[in-house]
Copies of this chain bind each other. A is one copy, B any other.
Amino acid sequence: MSKIAICIVSGGMDSALSVAIAKNEGYKLIGVHFNYKQRTEAKELECFRKITAHLGTIENYEIDLDFFAQIGASALTDKTIAVPTDGIGEGVPVTYVPFRNGIFLSIAAAIGEKHQAGALYIGVVEEDSSGYPDCRKDYIKMMEHAIDLGTRHETKFEIRMPLVAMKKSEIVAKALELGVPLEHTWSCYQSEQKACGVCDSCRLRLKGFLEAGVSDPIEYVTR
């Protein structure tokens, strides 16, 4: 079995933990990061570099996907659509970026085929989440089948999503246990300086730290 794992790393807490889990399972790590014209692009890239340096990837891919701005249709990639700050509601929120993880997984699969990887790690969370359809376990499993059929016969890798059923508080605890540099992770949807604390992503992160009984090492805007 190939001991190379392709790890999709956004710079957030969840994907950072998924890389640490891949490392813990004995894989050599290849980090893949996507710059997709999201609001906090520069900050997330900086975190990707720090996280992968800390956890020791053997190679990194920084992939520019400027076309996400051409497609837009999300508060993260179209600055004319405001990021909601009044709490997590019902349904798919306007921060959903159409089929983002499908695009990310397809590119990661191409990189995995090149390197004959044995696994592909993605830090999706279905439980404590914003309810994005491309973060669901059933979707990811179907995508694994599709990638298997659409690549060379000898290309075989499992898509691992170790966080999919974890609560945010469990993610915080596990990240601390595995030495994830949480001070170098970024979750805020809209700010690159101090985290806003009120977007859905900040709310989910803060809830995780609160429930885990640990304080978040990053700075937030004081309100």
Contact = CB atoms under 8 A, between A and B. Distances in A.
A150 interface: yes
A101 B109 CA distance: 11
* Copies of this protein, total: 2
B146 A146 contact: yes
A151 interface: yes
A152 B71 contact: no
Contact of A139 (B67, B103, B142, B149): B149
A34 to B, nearest CB: 9
Interface residue tally on A, bucketed by range: 35 or more
A152 B92 contact: yes
Contacts of A109: 98-99, 102
A72 interface: yes
8 contacts: A73-B114, A98-B110, A100-B110, A102-B109, A102-B151, A105-B106, A133-B151, A142-B146
